[in-house]
Structure 1
């Protein structure tokens, strides 16, 4: 009887013993793939990518294989000694960039801040950006932390921080959306980001990876001058709808 009890105790303790002996990485499972999106809030291609493509990783299970980072700054520039930020699509874009930066800061939980940003970008995509405050109620969120943030110097500092992250990219970003997987920019092949994530992930692949059927991806083979991106235009600000017209013209030329 005593021998049986000792054997049972050993069996019960075995998982804890093995867990202690395994290296931390093995015990925690395979590392996640870093997935970063550098974007600006009023870029039509960015909003479309967030709403129609990136949001899908929460339903497909791919979210469990990635560490997703959102960087709302894009093609903005810092001007003058007082660090004024000038945004490509004007003051409204600076405001929403700031709001989304504050949301990330206020709600570090990815599910929470992505839900809010996805809601805002869905309104942008449907030309209802002035209704962005409705996303607080839609997502069941208290607006106070975000409102206080973007109405204060703290929001501006967050935008400056994201600006530094964007400007530190190697190679530098050429347009938005700019998607980076494990440090590798995807250029205008960004809509195929799932294939790159699946290739980089070392764990059991999510079901979505089974249907991709690509022998590679090799970013170097991607033509960088395609459509579906918003180029950095410096001081020039594109009016609302102009980028869609440019895309239509480019499509006719192809």
Structure 2
């Protein structure tokens, strides 16, 4: 399935453009994903949710920015440690280098998607196969992550991550035009459409009200249960409701 999805992403990216934003004068909405390469929640977001940007015309109004650093630490002696160990530091740097070598999202996202698909499948040690799968020259990325440039990029992402206001609490940390989505990050499409100021919104924005529905449900649960149910349980219940609604396409306009 991931291989077929990767082919789909590549074909969709080849036809993607900024036509909607250009036609009606709207500025693109920035979608920032602060993540770390071996975080299971991060790979799940990239593999099962973020790729949907390219399934429709939503990417035409979205400036997608990936920041692979997450909960890593830069120590006074200049060394960098990562939450999931040295291999995560390696892949963070590899992905940072891919973004640097291929700055256009249509070029670097398929590679990052490929790597994170292997992370999701617990096969991340085979990440180098993504060069061959995508027909990419590995040498620029290899030279980058093995040299000083890779470290420079990670330090840049460290500074960017540490400058977040409010500070990130966990990963994935998703922001839309600088505003964090907190635990509603999977519903990024709703927030992109809400933030877009153009006169004509993409067709992908039609009927998107998941974020609003989630807020209504959270208020309902708080009213019914108060302190008798934990926030994590509330979130799980809300996500289950939203997933059911999405599957059955019965989301009502609120």
1:100 aligns with 2:95: yes
- The answer as to 2:142 corresponding to 1:147 is yes
C-alpha displacement of 1:226 = 3.9
Q: Is the 8 A contact 1:188 1:226 kept in 2?
A: no
| Equivalenced residues, count | 203
Judging changes above 3 Å, is the alpha-carbon distance between structure 1 residues 225 and 42 closer, same or farther for their aligned structure 2 residues?
farther
Partner of 2:45: 49
**Partner secondary structure for residue 69 of structure 1:** strand
Q: Deviations over 1:38-76 (max 9, x none)?
A: 000000000010011111101121110111100000000
Choose from 132, 157, 181 the match for 1:162.
157
Name 1:236's counterpart in structure 2. none
Greater fraction of residues in helix: 2
C-alpha RMSD of the superposition = 2.6
Task: Find out whether 1:31 has 2:20 as its counterpart.
Answer: no
Q: Deviations over 1:96-124 (max 9, x none)?
A: 00000000000011111011000000000
Distance 1:116 1:26, change over 3 A: closer
The answer to whether the Cα contact below 8 Å between 1:34 and 1:68 also exists between their aligned partners in 2 is yes
CA distance in 2, matches of 1:100, 1:76: 14
Unaligned runs of 5+ in 1: 1-24, 228-246
Residue 182 of structure 2 corresponds to residue 176 of structure 1: no
SS in 2 for 1:180: strand
**1:140, distance to aligned residue in structure 2 (A):** 1.3
Structure 2 equivalent of residue 69 of structure 1: 65
**Mapped pair 1:111 → 2:103:** no
CA contact (8 A) 1:195 1:217 kept: no
TM-score by length of 1: 0.74
Q: Does 1:200 align with 2:225?
A: no
1:212 aligns with 2:208: yes
1:30–1:105 Cα change, 3 Å: same
Q: Is the 8 A contact 1:179 1:187 kept in 2?
A: yes
- Deviation per CA, 1:82-141, whole angstroms, max 9, x where unpaired? x11110000000000000000000001111101100000000000110110000111111
Rounded to whole Å, the distance in 2 between the matches of 1:123 and 1:205 is 34
Distance of 2:127 and 2:42 partners within structure 1: 16
Partner of 1:67: helix, strand, or coil?
Answer: strand
Distance 1:208 1:85 in 2: 40
Query: 1:234-249 maps to which residues of 2 (within 5 A)?
Result: none
